[in-house]
């Protein structure tokens, strides 16, 4: 995806962080952007600062609300690109398990994506074109400390995106997976540990735009960090566990 001029883009989870920065970047490239999230004031502020964009308040974990939002969007015309960026994160260890919060992670990070996909995919298939992008995380590559609740939901998104790619590519739809490392957002502000290779949301959005232009399935950044994380996926379990223990003590 290179030419964004006049393209209809819907970003779910765009009130702050990566979602907001990506919406701003695509608006600057000429896209007709609709931003969704639960925070109405933040969305309206974005729409004011980006003339021609649209704010659509939405709780992605509410399936009926997602379907109603999609119906509203499709009534105005086809969607060219849908980006699922909604996220919930709290650091968690196995000896401090909070199942209700783990369920919230699943509702926002994974089930919300399924609700959006169920609502938009039939219309995209009918129109014969479109692109779906899911924002995962390198935290989904393998199990990591503090990631008891968050990591499994991102691992599910990785598998989901790979399957979507296989199922939809031959039917005219593009699918991409976004795998950020540490990005300076309200979610990562909760971390009490040093975050290597921390980047800004604007830098993340720039990497995403470049990745889409290059036609990559997985867009991961910053590469000076994420390439090492990809290497960890290939290590035997014994070596992986030893390295992670040493790095996180």
Instruction: Write phi, then psi, for 11 (nearest 5 degrees).
Output: -115, 115
Could you say which of 84, 89, 150, 165 is catalytic?
150
DSSP string, 56-114: EE--TT-HHHHHHHHHHHHHT---SEEEE-------B-GGG--HHHHHHHIIIIIIHHH
- Among 170, 196, 184, 2, which residue's Cα sits nearest to residue 80? 2
Confirm whether 110 is a catalytic residue. no
Angstrom distances, CA of residue 19 to CA of 12, 59, 135, 194, 228: 7, 15, 9, 23, 25
Handedness of CA 93, 96, 97, 98 (dihedral sign): negative
Cα–Cα distance for residue pair 224/212, rounded to 1 Å? 19
Residues serving a catalytic function are 150
């Amino acid at each position: 995806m290179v030419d964004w001029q006049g393209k209809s883009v819907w970003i779910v989870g765009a009130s702050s962080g990566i979602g907001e920065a990506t919406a701003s970047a695509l608006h600057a490239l000429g896209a007709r952007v609709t931003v969704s999230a639960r925070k109405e004031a933040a969305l309206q502020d974005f729409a004011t600062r980006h003339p021609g964009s649209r704010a659509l308040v939405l709780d992605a974990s509410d399936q009926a609300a997602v379907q109603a939002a999609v119906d509203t969007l499709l009534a105005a015309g086809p969607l060219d690109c849908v980006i699922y960026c909604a996220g919930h994160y709290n650091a968690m260890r196995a000896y401090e398990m909070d199942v209700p919060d783990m369920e919230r992670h699943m509702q926002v990070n994974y089930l919300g994506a399924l609700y959006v996909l169920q609502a938009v995919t039939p219309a995209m298939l009918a129109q014969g074109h479109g692109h779906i992008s899911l924002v995962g995380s390198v935290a989904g590559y393998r199990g990591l400390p503090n990631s008891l609740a968050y990591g499994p939901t991102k691992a599910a998104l990785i598998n989901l995106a790979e399957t979507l790619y296989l199922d939809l590519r031959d039917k005219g739809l593009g699918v991409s997976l976004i795998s950020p490392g540490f990005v300076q957002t309200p979610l990562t502000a909760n971390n009490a540990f040093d975050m290597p290779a921390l980047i800004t949301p604007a830098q993340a959005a720039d990497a995403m735009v470049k990745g889409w232009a290059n036609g990559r399935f997985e867009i991961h950044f910053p590469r000076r960090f994420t390439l090492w994380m990809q290497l960890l996926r290939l290590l035997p379990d014994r070596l992986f566990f030893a390295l992670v223990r040493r790095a996180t003590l």
